[in-house]
A and B are shown apart, each in its own frame.
Chain A
């Protein structure tokens, strides 16, 4: 049973465009939703995270939109750049992060010039 479903599996975006990655979760006890960026051969790095008490959070070019009733959240990357080309993982956990993260399967983003 996959608790966090992520789509699309891969994404190609033109430089300057908007990259959108979606995730859906099943466990209503989840209360912490981070997004991680991973480059090949490296560990994941936290990009941005959100809690269910807000519907949107923005940090620079990265925005999380959160829909509690639909149990969905998404990552928007504005003005996408070739340097954003990486694999992105959504995740979720319970108890304010005291429990392990459950990861989505990842989205491989390619930003082309």
Chain B
């Protein structure tokens, strides 16, 4: 299967600072990437859909000025949590699709990034 990486895997930051999370598709080109947030023992909640070269589409209730998404290339999308607060502490996971691949509807998930805001 396709490989999606995330960096960093874990980050601790102080309240008020910004944190950038990278999501890379390693062996395929991803025209669409998705960002999810997952709280302990809960399901994945879609935050936004990121399309290469265009603005991200945010889900209702997700602050676009707080969660900045940039999909500058076909293999990289970044999520920046600006002015982070303790309630932003969560597990952030990205996924990517490769429409050119057989079964192109498949979303491949990254390993996730654990964010802890103190």
Residues of B with C-beta under 8 A to A42: 111-112
Judged by DSSP, the binding face of B is strand
For chain A residues 47-64, which have a beta carbon within 8 Å of chain B? 49
- The verdict on A41 contacting chain B, using a C-beta distance below 8 Å, is yes
What residues of B have a CB within 8 angstroms of the CB of A104 in the complex? 43
Query: Which stretch of A11-19, A67-75, A77-85, A89-97 is in the interface?
Result: A89-97
B43–A97 touching, CB < 8 Å: no
Total interface residues on B, CB under 8 Å, equals 26
Interface bits A82-113 vs B (CB < 8 Å: 1, else 0): 00000001000100111011011110100000
Are A43's CB and B112's CB within 8 A?
A: yes
Chain A contact surface mostly: mixed
Which of the candidate stretches B14-22, B60-68, B78-86, B100-108 sits at the interface with the other chain? B100-108
Q: Quick check: A46 and B106 within 8 Å, CB to CB? A: yes
Assess whether B109 is in contact with A36, with CB atoms less than 8 Å apart.
yes
Quick one: which of B1-27 are within 8 Å of A by CB? 1, 4, 6
Given A42-B111, A42-B112, A43-B93, are A97 and B105 also a contact pair (CB < 8 Å)? yes
List residues of A whose CB falls within 8 A of some B CB. 32, 34, 36, 41-46, 49, 89, 93, 96-98, 100-101, 103-106, 108
List 12 A-B residue pairs with CB atoms under 8 Å apart, sorted by A's residue number: A41-B112, A42-B112, A43-B4, A43-B6, A43-B93, A43-B111, A49-B106, A93-B105, A97-B106, A98-B105, A101-B46, A101-B107
